[in-house]
A and B are shown apart, each in its own frame.
Chain A
Amino acid sequence: MKKNAWKFGIASVGAILVLAGCKPTQSSANYTYNTSLSSSPSTWNVHNWQTSDESYINSFTEIGLYDCILNETKNGYTFVPEMAADMPVSVDPGDITDEEIERYYAGSGNVVTGMVWDIPLNKNAKWEDGVAIKASDYVDSMELQLNSEYANFRADSYFTGNFILANAENYYKQGRSTIESLYKYLDESIGDVKNSTGVYYLNIGKGSAYTQAISSSADTTLYTLLNQLPASGSAAKLAADRIITAYSYYLWKSSDHTTSKNYTSWLNVNDKNDPTQVGQTLIEGDNVDMDIEIFNNGFKNAAGETDYVKTIKSNKESWSDSNSERYTRDMFEADMKTFVASVDRVAPASKSWAWKLPLFTAVFTYEGDPLSKDDLGIKAIDDYTLRIYLAKSITPLNLRFSLTGNWLVNVDLYRKLTVTLASGAKATTYATSKVENYRSYGPYKLTYFEAGKQFEIKRNDQWYGYSDGKHEGQFQMDEIVTKIYSDHTTALQEFMAGRLDDIDLTVSDVRTYGASSRCQTTYESYTQKISFNSDYAKLKQLQGGKENKTILSNKNFRKGLSLSLNRTEFASQATSGSKGFTGLLNDLYLANNATGESYRATAQGKSVYGMVYGHLGGNTIDEENGAALAESQVGYNRALAIEYVTQGMKEELQSTRDGHLAAGNTISIEFRVYDDASENTIAAYNYINRTWTAIIQSAVQKLKDQRVFGANDDIGFQLSMAKDMDYYTTAKNGGYNIIFSIWGGAAVNPYGLMQVYCDNTFESCCEYGFKGHQAETMLGIDANGDGTIDTTSEVKSFDAWYRAVDSGDEYNEAKYGDEVATTDPNYEAWYETHNKKLNVLAGLEAGILNRFEAVPLAARGTSSLLGFKVENATNTYVSLVGYGGIRFMKFNFTNTAWSDYCKQNNNNLSTLYQN
Chain B
Amino acid sequence: MKSALKMELTNQNLQETPNPESPNPRNTFRRVVDFCKKGIIRVGKAIGHFFTRKDVKSTLAYIGKRLILMVFTFLVIFFICFVLVRLLPISVDTGMKDQEVFYKQMVAQGRYVQNADGSYSPMPIMQQLGNFIVNLFSGGSNPWGFSYHIEWLASPDQIMARQLPPTVLINVYSMIISIPLGLGLGTFMALKKNKWEDHVLNVLVMLFISVPSFIYAFLLQYLFGYVWNVLRPTAESANAVGGYFSGAYFASIILPILSMTFGSIAGYARYTRAELTEVLTSDFMLLARTKGLTRAQATVRHAFRNSMVPIFPMILGEVISVLSGSMIIENIFQVNGVGGLYLQSIQTRDFDVFQYVSMFYILIGLVGTLVVDISYGLVDPRIRMGSKK
Residues of A within 8 A of B (CB): 1-2, 5, 8-9, 16, 18-25, 39-40, 42-43, 45, 48, 50, 151-153, 176-177, 179, 201, 259, 288-291, 299, 362, 419, 421-425, 427, 429, 432-433, 448, 450-454, 456, 483-487, 490, 493-494, 496-497, 725-726, 729, 906-908
Contacts and interface: CB of A to CB of B under 8 A. Distances in A.
B104 A423 contact: yes
Contacts of B240: 24-25, 448, 450, 454, 456
Contacts of A299: 116
Contact of A289 (B100, B118, B150, B336): B118
Nearest to B32: A5
Interface in B103-121: 104-105, 107-109, 115-119
Contacts of A42: 147-152
Contacts of A39: 344, 348
Given A5-B29, A19-B247, 8 more contacts: A24-B232, A151-B98, A153-B98, A419-B153, A421-B101, A429-B153, A450-B336, A487-B331
B229 interface: yes
Given A494-B233, A496-B226, A497-B229, A432 B153 contact: yes
A906 B229 contact: yes
Interface in B206-222: 221-222
A25 B242 CA distance: 8
A42 B349 CA distance: 13
Given A42-B149, A453-B336, A725 B115 contact: no
A19 B152 contact: no
A860 B321 CA distance: 46
A2 B26 contact: yes
Contacts of A18: 247
Interface string B215-251: 0000001100111011111101111111000111011
Nearest to A23: B248
B249 to A, nearest CB: 9
B97 interface: yes
Interface of B: 26-27, 29-30, 89, 91, 93, 97-98, 100-101, 104-105, 107-109, 115-119, 124, 140-142, 147-154, 159, 162-163, 221-222, 225-227, 229-234, 236-242, 246-248, 250-252, 254, 331-332, 334, 336, 340-341, 343-344, 348-349
A19 B107 CA distance: 53
B91 to A, nearest CB: 7
Contacts of B162: 451
Nearest to B135: A422
B30 A485 contact: no
B57 to A, nearest CB: 46
Contact of B341 (A23, A24, A43, A452): A452
A422 B108 contact: yes
B257 to A, nearest CB: 10
B152 A452 contact: no
A45 B152 CA distance: 10
Contacts of A493: 222, 225-226, 233
B108 A24 contact: no
A151 B101 contact: yes
A22 B252 CA distance: 9
Given A5-B26, A432-B152, A433-B152, A425 B334 contact: no
Nearest to A44: B152
A822 B230 CA distance: 66
19 contacts: A2-B27, A5-B26, A16-B254, A24-B240, A45-B152, A152-B98, A288-B117, A288-B119, A289-B118, A299-B116, A422-B108, A424-B104, A429-B152, A450-B237, A450-B238, A485-B234, A486-B343, A490-B332, A908-B227
B377 to A, nearest CB: 35
Contacts of A456: 240
Given A151-B97, A490-B334, A421 B251 contact: no
A908 B119 contact: no
Contact of B340 (A25, A432, A486): A486
Contact of A179 (B119, B238, B343): B119
Given A423-B105, A425-B104, A454-B240, A153 B118 contact: no
A422 B116 contact: no
Given A153-B97, A427-B153, A725 B349 contact: yes
B340 A452 contact: yes
Given A259-B124, A425-B104, A497-B226, A451 B241 contact: no
A338 to B, nearest CB: 25
Given A19-B247, A42-B150, A493-B226, A484 B334 contact: yes
